[in-house]
Amino acid sequence: MCRLFDRAKFWWKNWVPLLAEVFGIEGNIFRLKITEETPLKPRYEVPDVLTSKPSTVRLISCSGDTGSLILANGKGDLRCHITANPFKVDLMCKEEVVMSINSLGQLYFEHLQTPLKQRTTREKEENASIDTSQENQEDLGLWEEKFAEFVDVKVNGPASIGLDFSLHGFEHLYGIPQHAESHRLKNTSDEDVYRLYNLDVYGYKIHEKMGIYGSVPYLLAHKLGRTVGIFWLNSSETLVEINTEPAVKYTLTQMDPEAAKQKGSSRTDVHWMSESGIIDVFLLTGPTPSDVFKQYSSLTGTQAMPPLFSLGYHQCRWNYEDEQDVKAVDAGFDKHDIPYDVIWLDIEHTKGKRYFTWDKKRFPNPQRMQELLRNKKRKLVVISDPHIKIDPDYSVYAKAKEQGFFVKNHKGEDFEGICWPGLSSYLDFTNPKVREWYSGLFAFSVYQGSTDILYIWNDMNEPSVFRGPEKTMQKNAIHHGNWEHRELHNIYGFYQQKATAEGLIQRSKGKERPFVLTRSFFAGSQKYGAVWTGDNRAEWSYLKISIPMLLTLSITGISFCGADVGGFIGNPEAELLVRWYQAGAYQPFFRGHATINSKRREPWLFGKEHTRLIREAIRERYALLPYWYSLFYRAHMTSEPIMRPLWVEFPDELETFGMEDEYMLGSALLVHPVTEPKATVVDVFLPGSSEVWYDSKTFASWEGACTVNIPVTLDTIPVFQRGGSVVPIKRVIGKSTGWMTDSPYGLRVALSTKGSAVGELYLDDGHSFQYLHQKQFLHRKFCFCSGVLSNSCADERGHYPSKCVVEQIFVLGLKKQPSSVTTHSSDGKDQPVAFTYCARTSTLSLEKLSLNVGTDWEVHIK
């Protein structure tokens, strides 16, 4: 801990002492906190995001020069070199400076001040001899700002903070969602900085750094040999400036990886600025991408384990008209043999936009409607927004009003704003009592007409206020604890999703996993459910930008993410709709959605051929559900992203660092969606000089480290399986995930250049917490080596009875036809297996097997 002084002079010429603290945290994380030593009143420190109080480790004080301090972790390989005057921190790994803090001298900290009207006569007299009239005018203007007709009065003056970070040797930065921008962060200018400020932006523009629905103030920097992260824990409006000074350019032939690691002339400077709060920043030192993911999740939590149904296809529209409409759409999927799991209802299902109610004319018997869906083993999702219609006869409003559960305006009255129901008040989800009460609204006895197949969608929770400044809440509105809205704006939606998820868990008495989709989010939102990219447009450019947007969400902890298939706004042409379904089938959250004034676009409304193509894309999603579910388990347990930019899987290949039109799904599948109209060919980069890749449909193979021209027609989804992987699939596709519980498995074994492969399968009941509390799960490992494919236990703690069998095995890349294939079971019995071998594709096919997925066995190929 050391003390430093704010270098900024304010108009009454005070210097303000600041307190700086450096902590070591388990997992090679450093934390730096800077705040006023004696603030006028407490400054806001973001609560509830960190999963627990971080476990600190003792930092060893090493000898430093006069006026400096060196702190090292237990191993001594990571050190913080702190200089007092001028204040600077160098984060060092061995002898390399990885990151410098305040090396550009951009630390600033506007301290809280006595309200102007309370200034004493003595203070005025002390300044009377100094001509500060112009300076006073400039500073006084910051105490009161106008946005249209709204006036934002800052009672204790401006209180912004800022700090710069220099990343040495780094040119590639990623993160700080949400923006409709490229995956790799770009250099900024004075007029064009990345903004983190949650806003309802209908049909947002693409390739802009404007903040939209969610904010995660966390970025990653990557170079050959190291990945690091910066997590800026602040929930007020935040701006991020980025300036990269690249190294001398070399061609790849001139620069081998080792030489590249040594070059240190490149540098990226990142300047964080927030409107209020304190400086509270976590430095994640890696050194690998996987290490950084684990470090971040140790702070904010891993992705919640979703119920299996939520990984299926979701059908949504603003709005399905009534119970008959729901019944007809549900029947349409069966008629056209298209699987789906969830149908959604938007705001029109309620009585006058009063959440937790039903429009009795449109939905006279919601429980009967849900029973219809239950019989099909399907679910219902309905919307619940944070604004509550001002209506004394509306019980939710009346009870919240009575208990003082609404956000207040600066006068202490209930804040009132316009949203879908008209004049509304907004629940103060920052108050634990409000969250507890709100969670109770989901109880079956309270939420009349709801059943255990009903799940929730939180929308408009930025919060959206139609006639507010920037269509949101005034910054001087007052929350629980007397905190102004400016302090916690970006975390408001986080709290609603948290309360909603806890409500769904409570209604099942803690037994069932929730599913909650939210539009607004913050760091840590992954603990409570899924996120989507908001009100996109039915245009090719929005399909294309959805990929980098989802990649950025994925590497910042939010794996359960997706974009509205088809585009929310507008009417997609048939080709665009097909291509979007094909892309969405290989993205974590898979939902078709459309706005109220768009044409109906259920999958069967575009002609037989387009219906067939959409059906095939959705069925491919369902076939891969075992792989998807296993990936979510790994995300939940080990914080590995599900949808991964290529640089994550191939961190030592420079060519991958800027790629965003293709990605890895887990470590086994490479996906390159077609995002251009009338495409006849796509250029796919297959990374890894020692890798081999297989076309998932034709089984054609290519060596890695090359770009391949892939011919495409409208029925082509370019997906490639990585050599050395085993991908489990479902052989029989049902009407929904519920129909597929006991259906047989297949294994796609893609051999590496060394003739080996590994993979896994995770299995549990798909809906409860028994996997966690009672260890009711199966985690199996598949391994192919020296001609033997084995199925063994990957986690001895888990036990779960399964009737499922592996019915089919494909082995890709088998160079010669075997003479025999036999199975060897755990009871010692050997059985010969009929097989088919295709010399043209080097593929071995084993059919009509009956190998229980939960027991040990081997397949011997000779």
Residues 747 and 256: their CA atoms lie apart, in Å, by 38
Helix axes 608-623, 574-584, angle to 10 degrees: 10
d(CA 294, CA 629): 20
Return the SS3 of 81. Answer: strand
Catalytic residue among 459, 484, 502, 807: 459
The phi, psi pair for 804, rounded to 5°, reads -70, 145
Angle 547-288-293 from CA coordinates, rounded to 5°: 55
| Other CB atoms within 10 Å distance of the CB of residue 252 | 10
Alpha-carbon span 233 to 35, nearest angstrom: 13
Query: What is the Cα Rg of the chain in Å?
Result: 28
Identify whether the C-beta of residue 563 lies closer than 8 Å to the C-beta of residue 584.
yes
Strands 150-153 and 144-147: what pairing?
Answer: antiparallel
**Residue 399 structure tokens:** 């009870």
Tell me how far the alpha carbon of residue 348 is from its chain's centroid.
Answer: 28
Cα–Cα nearest to 810, from 748, 767, 753, 759: 748
CA dihedral 732, 734, 740, 743 (to 10 degrees): -30
Secondary element (H or E) of residue 435: helix 432-440
Backbone φ and ψ of 560, nearest 5°: -85, 85
- Contact of 327 with 372, CB cutoff 8 Å: yes
Active site residue 181: no
Active site residue 462: yes
Q: Backbone phi, then psi, for 626, in 5-degree steps? A: -60, -35
One-letter amino acid for residue 117 of the chain: K
Contact 739, 761 (CB under 8 A): no
Q: Which of 462, 502, 620, 764 is catalytic?
A: 462
Kind and range of the H or E run holding 221: strand 218-223
Query: 105: which strand partners?
Result: none
Stated as kind and residue range, the H or E segment containing 831 is strand 830-832
Residue 535 is among the residues annotated as catalytic for this protein: yes
Cα gap 463→443, rounded to integer Å: 25
**Annotated active-site residue in 171, 200, 330, 535:** 535
Written as six digits, the tokens of 636 are 């939940």
Cα-based distances in Å from 625 to 310, 440, 494, 665, 741: 11, 33, 28, 12, 11
- Burial of 767 by CB count in 10 Å (0-12 exposed, 13-18 middle, 19+ buried)? buried
Residue with tokens 């009161």: 144
Q: Distance (Å, rounded) from C-alpha 302 to C-alpha 524?
A: 8
Q: Got the DSSP string for 127-143?
A: HHTS--HHHHHHHHTTT
Active site residues: 459, 462, 535
